[in-house]
Structure 1
Amino acid sequence: MSTKGIAMNPETLDTQIAVVGAGAAGLAAAVAAAENAADVILLEKRSSPGGNAARAEGLLAAESPVQKRFKIDAQRDVIFRIAMDHAHWKLDPRIVRTFVDRSADTIQWLEDKGVVFSRVPHYYPNQRIRTWHLLSRGGIELVEILVKNGQDLGVRMLKETTAKRLLTDGKGNITGVMADTQEGEFKITAKSVIIATGGYAGNKELLKKYCPQYNENMFCGGLPYTGDGLLMAIEAGAATEGLGLIQFSGHAVPGAPVDLVAVADELNTVWVNKKGERFTDEATSYHRFESINAVIRQPDSFCYTLFDERIKQNIIEKGIIKGVGTVIPPRTKLTGLGKALELEADKGNVRIAGSWDEIAKWIGIKPAVLKATIDEYNAFCDDGYDRLFAKDRRYLDALRTPPYYALRCYPRFLSTIGGIKINHRMEVLDNNDNPIPGLYAAGVDTGGWETDTYNAILSGTTFAFSVNSGRIAAENAARYMMGE
Structure 2
Amino acid sequence: MWDAEVDVVVAGAGGCGLVAALAAAEQDLEVALFEKTEFILGNTASSAGMIPAAGTRFQKKAGIIETPEEMAEDILKKNHYESDPELTLALCRESAKLIEWMADSLGIELSLVKEFSYPGQRNRRMHAPPSRSGLELIKKLRMEVTKHENIYLTLKSELTDLIMENEKVIGVEINTSHGKQRIKAKKVILATNGFGANKELVKNYIPEIADALYFGYEANTGDAIKIAEKIGAALDSLTAYQGHSAVADSAGILVTWGTIMMGGFMVNKNGHRFGDESQGYSEFAKEVLLQPEKHGYIIFDEEIYQQLLSIEDFKNLSEMNGFKSAETIEGLAKTLNIDIENLRVTFEEFDQAVDVGEDAFGRTSFPKKLNGQLYGIRVVPALFHTQGGLRINTHAQVLRQNNSVINNLYAGGGAAVGVSGNHSYGYMSGNGLLSALGFGKIAGDHAAAMIKKERVETK
The bucket for the TM-score relative to the shorter chain is 0.7 to 0.9
Match of 1:19 in 2: 10
Given candidates 429, 440, 444, the residue that maps to 1:474 is 444
Q: CA 1:480 to 1:119, structure 2 compared with 1: closer, same or farther past 3 Å?
A: closer
Match of 1:377 in 2: 346
Q: Is this contact kept in 2: 1:135–1:141, CA < 8 A?
A: yes
Given candidates 15, 25, 29, the residue that maps to 2:20 is 29
Q: Secondary structure at the match of 1:47?
A: coil
Cα separation, 2, equivalents of 1:61 and 1:467: 11
Q: Is this contact kept in 2: 1:271–1:278, CA < 8 A?
A: yes
What is the root-mean-square deviation in Å for CA atoms of aligned residues? 4.0
- Residue 63 (structure 2) pairs with residue 71 (structure 1): yes
Cα separation, 2, equivalents of 1:438 and 1:359: 57
Q: CA 1:439 to 1:247, structure 2 compared with 1: closer, same or farther past 3 Å?
A: same
Cα separation, 2, equivalents of 1:479 and 1:182: 33
Q: Is this contact kept in 2: 1:64–1:108, CA < 8 A?
A: yes
Cα separation, 1, equivalents of 2:12 and 2:224: 9
Match of 1:446 in 2: 416
Cα separation, 2, equivalents of 1:180 and 1:306: 45
Given candidates 201, 211, 214, the residue that maps to 2:209 is 214
Shift of 1:306: 7.6
Cα separation, 1, equivalents of 2:138 and 2:377: 39
The one-letter code of the counterpart of 2:403 is D
Q: Is this contact kept in 1: 2:420–2:427, CA < 8 A?
A: no
Q: CA 1:279 to 1:167, structure 2 compared with 1: closer, same or farther past 3 Å?
A: same
Match of 1:115 in 2: 107
Cα separation, 1, equivalents of 2:17 and 2:11: 7
Q: Is this contact kept in 2: 1:249–1:289, CA < 8 A?
A: yes
Cα separation, 1, equivalents of 2:309 and 2:229: 36
Q: CA 1:263 to 1:271, structure 2 compared with 1: closer, same or farther past 3 Å?
A: farther
Larger radius of gyration: 1
Q: Is this contact kept in 2: 1:252–1:264, CA < 8 A?
A: no
Q: Is this contact kept in 1: 2:8–2:187, CA < 8 A?
A: yes
Q: Is this contact kept in 2: 1:260–1:341, CA < 8 A?
A: no
Q: Is this contact kept in 2: 1:21–1:45, CA < 8 A?
A: yes
Match of 1:45 in 2: 36
Shift of 1:148: 4.3
Q: Is this contact kept in 1: 2:10–2:17, CA < 8 A?
A: yes
Given candidates 149, 155, 160, the residue that maps to 2:156 is 160
Equivalences, count: 438
- Of 137-146 and 88-97, deviating more is 137-146
Shift of 1:354: 5.4
- Of 429-438 and 82-91, deviating more is 82-91
Q: Deviations over 1:200-259 (max 9, x none)?
A: 222212211221322223332555521111111112211101113221122334452649
Q: Secondary structure at the match of 1:166?
A: strand
Cα separation, 1, equivalents of 2:45 and 2:139: 9
Q: Deviations over 1:19-78 (max 9, x none)?
A: 101111111111222223432111011223242333442322221233334432122221
Shift of 1:292: 2.8
Q: CA 1:300 to 1:19, structure 2 compared with 1: closer, same or farther past 3 Å?
A: farther
The one-letter code of the counterpart of 1:478 is A
- Unaligned ranges ≥5, structure 2: 326-331
The one-letter code of the counterpart of 2:185 is A
Q: How high is the TM-score relative to the length of structure 2?
A: 0.80
- Residue 183 (structure 2) pairs with residue 188 (structure 1): yes
Q: CA 1:324 to 1:53, structure 2 compared with 1: closer, same or farther past 3 Å?
A: farther
Q: Is this contact kept in 2: 1:419–1:445, CA < 8 A?
A: yes
Q: Is this contact kept in 1: 2:190–2:412, CA < 8 A?
A: yes
Q: Deviations over 1:438-472 (max 9, x none)?
A: 11101121115223347786x53332332221121
Given candidates 419, 435, 451, the residue that maps to 2:405 is 435
Q: Deviations over 1:381-430 (max 9, x none)?
A: 586668633556777779xx99x9894x4312322112111111111111
Q: Is this contact kept in 2: 1:165–1:177, CA < 8 A?
A: yes
Match of 2:328 in 1: none
Match of 1:388 in 2: 360
Amino-acid identity (%): 25
Match of 2:329 in 1: none
The one-letter code of the counterpart of 1:320 is Y
Cα separation, 2, equivalents of 1:301 and 1:434: 48
Cα separation, 1, equivalents of 2:377 and 2:434: 37
Q: Is this contact kept in 1: 2:238–2:388, CA < 8 A?
A: yes
1:55-454 correspondence to structure 2 within 5 Å: 55-56=46-47, 57-122=49-114, 124=116, 128-136=122-130, 138-150=133-145, 151-169=147-165, 171-254=166-249, 256=251, 258=253, 268-272=264-268, 278-282=273-277, 284=278, 287-296=280-289, 298=290, 302-305=294-297, 315=302, 320=305, 323=308, 326-327=311-312, 374=343, 377=346, 380=349, 388-389=360-361, 407=378, 409-451=379-421, 452-453=423-424
The one-letter code of the counterpart of 1:61 is A
- Unaligned ranges ≥5, structure 1: 1-9, 343-351, 361-369
